[in-house]
Structure formats: C-alpha cells, structure tokens
Amino acid sequence: MKNEMILSFRASLENEPFARTCLASFIASLNPTIDEIVEMKTIVGEAVSNAIIHGYNCDSEQTVIMKAMIHDRTVMVQIEDRGQGIENIEEAKQPMFTSKKELEHAGMGLSIIEALCDKMEIISYLGLGTQLIMIKEFHHDQDRNDS
C-alpha cells in the first residue's frame, strides 16, 4: 500500500498538537499499536517544535511543512522549515546540546527522535532552513504480542 500527504501550517506552537494528531490519523490505516502512535506523535512534536522555536524563533508569520508517506509498513515523515538552519549538525545531534539553554531546553529532542525512529536524517543550510527526515517501520499485526 502507498499513500502520501502534505500539510503546511503557521509556525505557532499552538499548531504542534494539530500536526501530531494529523499524522496519527494519517497512519491509522496501519492499525498501529498504542506505543507506535505515542512514539510517532512524540517524533512529530519534537520535530515541529524545533522548526518553530529554532528554525523560526517563534515567528508565527512563517510556515512549517509536514510531508508523510506510507509504503507498505514503512512511514517516512519530513518536517521542513525555511528558517535559520543548523550551523553544526553533528553538534546539534549530541544529547544535551542546546543553543537555547537560557530557555531551559534540555537539548534532548533530536536524541529522542533518533531513538524512536529507525532512521533520521538532517539536511540543513545556514540561512536557508532545515529538513528533518525520519523513517519508521511499523510492526505487522501478526508479530504483535498485545493481541
């Protein structure tokens, strides 16, 4: 089975739960487990909040784009901003690295995303923006031990 969606929304933190819920309903046809839904919503929440807070410095005039694709039981999600970009991607991926310590960020968002998906890729150019691409495999119904 193949499916695709694209969503663009204003860079306001108010829209973070909207983006999470939207992705959760897009993947509903895969009959995901509760754990898989929670993981996917966490991934989207962290990625969207990074785009808004770091990419756009919370400028709600800007736009975040979320694309998602389903191919069999593989889900690809891409969160894109055309904001400030990441200076050093390897440094940004380190657990507890944050450029906003004063705002009490833990610097754990990207580490959490990396732990919850099967593959994470960051494409970012200073002054142009960031694309975060995440791939997650969903378990087959018959492989589950919760049914």
Ligand X SMILES: Nc1ncnc2c1ncn2[C@@H]1O[C@H](COP(=O)(O)OP(=O)(O)OP(=O)(O)O)[C@@H](O)[C@H]1O
Q: Interface with ligand X by CB under 6 A: which residues?
A: 46, 50-51, 54-55, 81, 83-86, 92, 97-100, 105-111, 130
Nearest to 132 by CA among 65, 75, 41, 32: 65
Tokens of 49: 């909040």
The residue type of 3 is: N
45 binds, among ligand X, Mg ion, none (CB under 5 to 8 A by kind): none
User: With respect to Mg ion, which residue has the nearer C-beta, 32 or 109?
Assistant: 109
In the complex, what is the shortest distance from the CB of residue 130 to ligand X, in angstroms, rounded to a whole number? Answer: 4
78 binds, among ligand X, Mg ion, none (CB under 5 to 8 A by kind): none
The DSSP code for 54 is I
Residue 46, C-beta contacts closer than 8 angstroms, at least 6 positions apart: 109, 110, 112, 113
Where does this chain bind Mg ion (CB under 5 A)?
50, 109
User: With respect to ligand X, which residue has the nearer C-beta, 48 or 70?
Assistant: 48
107 binds, among Mg ion, ligand X, none (CB under 5 to 8 A by kind): ligand X
Instruction: Write phi, then psi, for 74 (nearest 5 degrees).
Output: -105, 130
User: With respect to ligand X, which residue has the nearer C-beta, 76 or 108?
Assistant: 108
User: With respect to ligand X, which residue has the nearer C-beta, 108 or 135?
Assistant: 108
Q: What angle do CA 2, 145, 76 make, to 5 degrees?
A: 25
